[in-house]
Amino acid sequence: RKKPLEPKMSRSFIRVFKDYAKMPVATESFRIVEKCTEKYFKQLWNDLAAFSSHAGRKTVEVSDVEVLMRRQKLVTDEIPLHVLIERHLPLDYRKLLIPVAVSGNKVIPEIKRS
Protein backbone atom coordinates (compact mmCIF):
# COMPACT_ATOMS: atom_id res chain seq x y z
CA ARG A 1 0.00 0.00 0.00
CA LYS A 2 1.98 2.93 -1.29
CA LYS A 3 -0.95 5.21 -1.97
CA PRO A 4 -0.86 8.47 0.00
CA LEU A 5 -3.70 8.99 2.42
CA GLU A 6 -4.67 12.40 1.13
CA PRO A 7 -4.76 13.34 -2.52
CA LYS A 8 -2.43 16.28 -3.02
CA MET A 9 -1.23 18.57 -5.73
CA SER A 10 1.67 16.80 -7.39
CA ARG A 11 5.20 18.03 -6.88
CA SER A 12 5.71 18.73 -10.56
CA PHE A 13 2.97 21.33 -10.46
CA ILE A 14 4.50 23.04 -7.51
CA ARG A 15 7.55 23.46 -9.73
CA VAL A 16 5.49 25.91 -11.80
CA PHE A 17 6.39 28.29 -9.00
CA LYS A 18 9.91 28.34 -10.37
CA ASP A 19 8.72 29.46 -13.79
CA TYR A 20 6.80 32.31 -12.24
CA ALA A 21 9.62 33.34 -9.91
CA LYS A 22 12.01 34.18 -12.76
CA MET A 23 14.97 33.83 -10.43
CA PRO A 24 16.77 30.99 -8.67
CA VAL A 25 14.75 29.29 -5.97
CA ALA A 26 16.43 27.50 -3.09
CA THR A 27 15.63 23.80 -2.98
CA GLU A 28 14.28 23.93 0.55
CA SER A 29 11.88 26.70 -0.51
CA PHE A 30 9.74 24.21 -2.35
CA ARG A 31 8.78 22.61 0.92
CA ILE A 32 7.28 25.92 1.99
CA VAL A 33 5.52 26.34 -1.35
CA GLU A 34 4.05 22.89 -0.88
CA LYS A 35 2.79 23.84 2.57
CA CYS A 36 1.26 27.04 1.21
CA THR A 37 -0.40 25.04 -1.54
CA GLU A 38 -2.01 22.75 1.00
CA LYS A 39 -3.37 25.69 2.96
CA TYR A 40 -4.51 27.38 -0.22
CA PHE A 41 -6.49 24.34 -1.35
CA LYS A 42 -8.04 23.82 2.05
CA GLN A 43 -9.38 27.37 1.96
CA LEU A 44 -10.34 27.07 -1.71
CA TRP A 45 -12.52 23.99 -1.21
CA ASN A 46 -14.14 25.57 1.82
CA ASP A 47 -15.01 28.71 -0.13
CA LEU A 48 -16.27 26.86 -3.17
CA ALA A 49 -18.41 24.55 -1.07
CA ALA A 50 -19.84 27.59 0.70
CA PHE A 51 -20.64 29.33 -2.57
CA SER A 52 -22.34 26.37 -4.18
CA SER A 53 -24.33 25.40 -1.10
CA HIS A 54 -25.43 29.01 -0.87
CA ALA A 55 -26.88 28.57 -4.36
CA GLY A 56 -28.51 25.35 -3.17
CA ARG A 57 -26.27 23.08 -5.20
CA LYS A 58 -23.99 20.18 -4.47
CA THR A 59 -21.97 20.76 -7.62
CA VAL A 60 -19.34 23.45 -7.89
CA GLU A 61 -20.14 25.28 -11.10
CA VAL A 62 -18.03 27.56 -13.27
CA SER A 63 -19.97 30.53 -11.92
CA ASP A 64 -18.96 29.68 -8.34
CA VAL A 65 -15.30 29.79 -9.26
CA GLU A 66 -15.89 33.05 -11.10
CA VAL A 67 -17.50 34.60 -8.03
CA LEU A 68 -14.56 33.39 -5.96
CA MET A 69 -12.08 34.94 -8.37
CA ARG A 70 -14.01 38.17 -8.26
CA ARG A 71 -13.71 38.15 -4.50
CA GLN A 72 -10.01 37.50 -4.82
CA LYS A 73 -9.87 40.56 -7.09
CA LEU A 74 -8.43 38.45 -9.88
CA VAL A 75 -11.47 39.03 -12.05
CA THR A 76 -12.40 42.70 -12.20
CA ASP A 77 -14.30 44.91 -14.59
CA GLU A 78 -11.02 45.69 -16.36
CA ILE A 79 -9.87 42.07 -16.48
CA PRO A 80 -12.76 39.76 -17.29
CA LEU A 81 -12.47 36.05 -16.73
CA HIS A 82 -11.95 35.10 -20.35
CA VAL A 83 -8.88 37.33 -20.56
CA LEU A 84 -7.33 35.39 -17.69
CA ILE A 85 -8.28 32.13 -19.38
CA GLU A 86 -6.65 33.25 -22.60
CA ARG A 87 -3.50 34.34 -20.86
CA HIS A 88 -2.91 31.38 -18.63
CA LEU A 89 -4.54 28.25 -19.97
CA PRO A 90 -3.40 26.21 -22.98
CA LEU A 91 -5.44 26.26 -26.16
CA ASP A 92 -7.28 22.96 -25.61
CA TYR A 93 -8.76 24.17 -22.34
CA ARG A 94 -9.47 27.59 -23.72
CA LYS A 95 -11.57 25.93 -26.38
CA LEU A 96 -13.58 24.14 -23.73
CA LEU A 97 -14.20 27.26 -21.68
CA ILE A 98 -14.68 29.73 -24.52
CA PRO A 99 -16.43 27.93 -27.37
CA VAL A 100 -15.73 30.65 -29.94
CA ALA A 101 -12.40 32.41 -29.79
CA VAL A 102 -12.37 36.19 -29.88
CA SER A 103 -10.92 37.21 -33.23
CA GLY A 104 -10.70 40.24 -35.49
CA ASN A 105 -14.42 40.82 -35.59
CA LYS A 106 -14.31 41.57 -31.82
CA VAL A 107 -17.36 39.50 -30.98
CA ILE A 108 -17.07 38.50 -27.35
CA PRO A 109 -18.94 35.23 -26.84
CA GLU A 110 -20.77 34.14 -23.73
CA ILE A 111 -18.75 31.96 -21.41
CA LYS A 112 -20.17 28.47 -21.28
CA ARG A 113 -21.78 27.83 -17.94
CA SER A 114 -22.34 24.18 -17.32
Partner 1 sequence: MGRAAPRAALRKMLKNEKPGFRLSACADLLVHLNFLLFLRRLAEEARTNAFQNRSRIIKPEHIILAAKVIEHF
Q: How many residues does the chain have?
A: 114
Q: Which is nearer to partner 1, 19 or 104 (CB)?
A: 19
Interaction between residue 86 and partner 1 (CB under 8 A): no
Compute φ and ψ for 81, nearest 5 degrees.
Answer: -60, -40
Compute φ and ψ for 54, nearest 5 degrees.
Answer: -65, -35
Q: Which is nearer to partner 1, 90 or 104 (CB)?
A: 90
Cα–Cα distance for residue pair 94/71, rounded to 1 Å: 22
- In degrees, to the nearest 5, what angle opens at C-alpha 91 toward C-alphas 88 and 96? 100
Q: Which is nearer to partner 1, 7 or 104 (CB)?
A: 7
Of these, 74, 100, 101, 102, which contacts partner 1 (CB under 8 A)? Answer: 74
Interaction between residue 112 and partner 1 (CB under 8 A): yes
Interaction between residue 22 and partner 1 (CB under 8 A): yes
Of these, 2, 7, 104, 106, which contacts partner 1 (CB under 8 A)? Answer: 7
